Amino acid sequence: MKVLVHFDSKKDREAYEASRLQKNIKGALNLAGVETVDSLFSSPDIIHLLSPQDEMKARDAKIDGIKVVTSALYAERDFKARFLEEKEENGFRLRSEAERLLHQSDLVLVPDEKAKSFLQKLVPDCDIKVVSPGVNFARFEELDEVECRLFSYYFRLKEGTPYVISMANNYESEVFSCLELLAQLLPKLHFFLLVNSKKGRNNSLFLRKYNRKTPPNIHVHSLLEDDVYRSGLLGAKAFLALGNYGIEHLIVLEANAAHTPVYVLGNQESGIDLIDDEDVLYRPTIASLAESLKKLINEPNIEFSEKAYKKASNYSLKNIGDILKRYYLYLLEGKEND
């Protein structure tokens, strides 16, 4: 069995969620003994897609008799892998190319049961199964001091400086507003906002303009290289999800692997919420979130972090690879067991 895991991951996109997801899937398959290839010319049995922009590639694969698997709702903050778009009213709908891709797919994968229930209402005729994005625990363990402090070196932070990390698209004005309020309430805590844009990571003009007018404890930056981002998670007091687009499962798992709690502003009904309630901590208001963060500065939420880490350990790449292999065989041979 040969599998092509395709995503247009040019160098500028290595820091994006879908690129990290692609790495996870390929790593998981290699651990499960499944051969991966890099081109349709290598005659794969299955093509595994991550982006609605690959609708035509799915069509070509179907013509050649190749089974099509699509991972949906794993990276909704990534412009090139997003399946949903906001309606003019409140709520979200499938992008037209996403809907066409899903209907061409022999199997659709989603990150959890919430996502499955959500998507089944939109495309009830699709075969949908749940597979976690997985997490590479080796990236967060057995690191030396330099690797752990890389984020602090990168941003020239004094040792022991408390900080949190968040992400946003550059048009999510509500995230910037929330961050400014939090920064005013917690002047001793530093807030790092990693910004995504349709133009890729090269949005320096926007970053310079915004950083000139923010409080001194807010630092707005483009998405970080993988090693710097990993180091940031390891040292952060928390990861914050502040916008309507919620938070991706891969980010939650990576934060859990780093023993970093994830706080979501709002409740389970606000924005796109496709995360299990027990994996994150919801705070309904800015004030309640600020109060929780104030406590974290001197008193880490060890109990929650350990519980989240233990659950995340079920989603190692080896386990995910075995699940993917079973589903691939289900497509090719009509069975889910070796």
pLDDT at 210: 78
Q: Are residues 116 and 149 in the same domain?
A: no
264 lies in the same domain as 164:
yes
Give a yes or no: residue 338 inside a domain. no
Q: Is residue 18 part of a domain?
A: yes
Rg over CA atoms, the chain: 20
pLDDT tens-digit series, residues 114-169: 889 999 999 999 999 999 999 998 888 867 788 889 999 999 999 899 999 999 88
Q: Say if residue 43 is in the same domain as residue 66.
A: yes
Per the structure, the complete domain to which residue 13 belongs is given by 2-134+316-333
DSSP class per residue in 249-288: HHHHHHHHHTT--EEEES-TTSS---S-GGGSEEESSHHH
Instruction: Check whether residue 307 and residue 244 sit in a common domain.
Output: yes
Q: Are residues 181 and 117 in the same domain?
A: no
Q: Is the pTM of this model over 0.85?
A: yes
Give me the pLDDT at residue 15, please.
64
How many CA within 13 A on the CB side of residue 6? 24
* Residues 188 and 97 reside in one and the same domain: no
Residue-wise pLDDT tens digits, 184-227: 999 999 999 998 876 665 566 777 777 788 889 999 998 888 89
pLDDT classification of 91: cutoffs 50, 70, 90: confident
d(CA 219, CA 78): 21
Tally of domains in the chain: 2
Within 16-156, residue ranges assigned H as helices are: 17-31, 55-63, 96-104, 113-122, 145-148, 150-155
CATH number for the domain spanning 301: value is 3.40.50.2000
Q: pLDDT tens digit string along 251-308?
A: 999 999 999 999 999 865 444 455 556 788 889 999 999 999 999 988 887 788 888 8
Question: Is 155 found in the same domain as 107?
Answer: no
The reply to whether 202 and 222 lie within a common domain is: yes
Clarify whether residues 128 and 160 are in a common domain.
Answer: no
